[in-house]
């Protein structure tokens, strides 16, 4: 746990083009949640929404599921005032959290609730252990983690919604492979199931397989990154970015031509 760890974070309006200093200054720890008399284990959306209306003056608080930069499960919940039509647009929050429908609703196309205006309130979510039995759960958020998340989605060439679909589908496939009793009627072999449903779209089994390719240097899955970059010499090895490829080149160059 770092010194800046907290249970709740707020993000003031920031533009995609803002400087590092401006972005970092917009991310602050907060005590607005949980509501008085509740803990992060006992609080629910039913008490959080009226509390946000009362304390922040929001006219229509709405929540969104989201991912931090390296999470394999939906690990944050983001509140914003859907009724706010006059505050500055929070461009970076909109770009980073534009993954699902309001309240985590299943959608088949891009979210249509945007843009987010004003400040957002972010909380950590506990994993659904049924779908994510092996993840490491940290109940705290850090300001640095949130900064890294915002800049990751800002700089990614892959839309946040597409990255969410990839992560959802990989998790769904792992669950189905480990729980054959959950197969749809008539499907007895998990490997014969050709599509995997996330809360906002479908992925084929071939796509999900590709999404589990890993960076040769750091080991991150394509589902986490969005899209890995292929070594242009061997066409076999994948990397997160040029930085990972550069760090691995001393080892990789010995076998690159033979692959």
Q: Are residues 149 and 87 in the same domain?
A: yes
pLDDT tens-digit readout, 10-28: 999 999 999 999 999 999 9
**pTM to 2 decimal places:** 0.76
pLDDT tens-digit readout, 36-78: 999 999 999 999 999 999 999 999 999 999 999 999 899 999 9
Q: Are residues 25 and 71 in the same domain?
A: yes
Compute, in degrees rounded to 10, the torsion defined by CA atoms 97, 75, 77, 3.
Answer: -100
pLDDT tens-digit readout, 206-249: 677 777 777 878 877 776 676 777 787 777 777 888 888 888 88
202: which residues sit within 8 A by CB, 6+ positions away?
A: 169, 195, 196
Quick one: DSSP state of residue 253? T
Q: By residue range, what is the domain housing residue 100?
A: 5-158
Last residue of a domain, one of 158, 176, 201: 158
Q: Which is it for strands 141-142 and 8-11: parallel, antiparallel or unpaired?
A: unpaired
Last residue of a domain, one of 158, 188, 220: 158
Per the CB < 8 A criterion, the answer to whether 158 and 241 are in contact is no
């Amino acid at each position: 746990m770092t010194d800046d760890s907290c249970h709740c974070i707020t993000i003031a309006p920031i533009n995609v083009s803002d400087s590092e200093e401006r972005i970092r200054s917009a991310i602050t720890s907060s005590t607005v949640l949980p509501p008085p008399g509740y803990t992060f284990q006992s609080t629910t959306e039913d008490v959080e929404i009226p509390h946000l209306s009362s304390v922040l003056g929001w006219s229509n608080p709405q929540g969104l599921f989201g991912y931090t930069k390296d999470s394999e499960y939906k690990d944050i919940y983001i509140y914003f005032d859907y009724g706010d039509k006059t505050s500055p647009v929070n461009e970076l929050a909109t770009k980073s959290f534009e993954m699902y429908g309001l309240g985590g609703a299943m959608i088949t196309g891009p979210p249509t609730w945007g843009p987010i205006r004003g400040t957002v309130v972010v909380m950590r979510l506990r994993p659904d252990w049924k779908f994510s039995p092996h993840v490491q759960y940290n109940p705290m958020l850090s300001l640095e983690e949130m900064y890294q998340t915002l800049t990751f989605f800002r700089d990614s060439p892959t839309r946040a919604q597409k990255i969410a679909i990839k992560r959802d589908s990989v998790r769904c496939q792992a669950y189905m492979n480990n729980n054959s009793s959950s197969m749809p009627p008539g499907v007895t072999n998990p490997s014969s199931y050709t599509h995997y449903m996330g809360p906002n779209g479908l992925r084929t089994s071939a796509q999900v397989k590709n999404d589990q390719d890993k960076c040769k240097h750091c080991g991150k899955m394509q589902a986490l990154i969005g899209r890995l970059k292929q070594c242009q010499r061997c066409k076999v090895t994948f990397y997160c970015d040029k930085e990972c490829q550069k760090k691995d080149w001393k080892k990789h160059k010995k076998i690159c031509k033979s692959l």
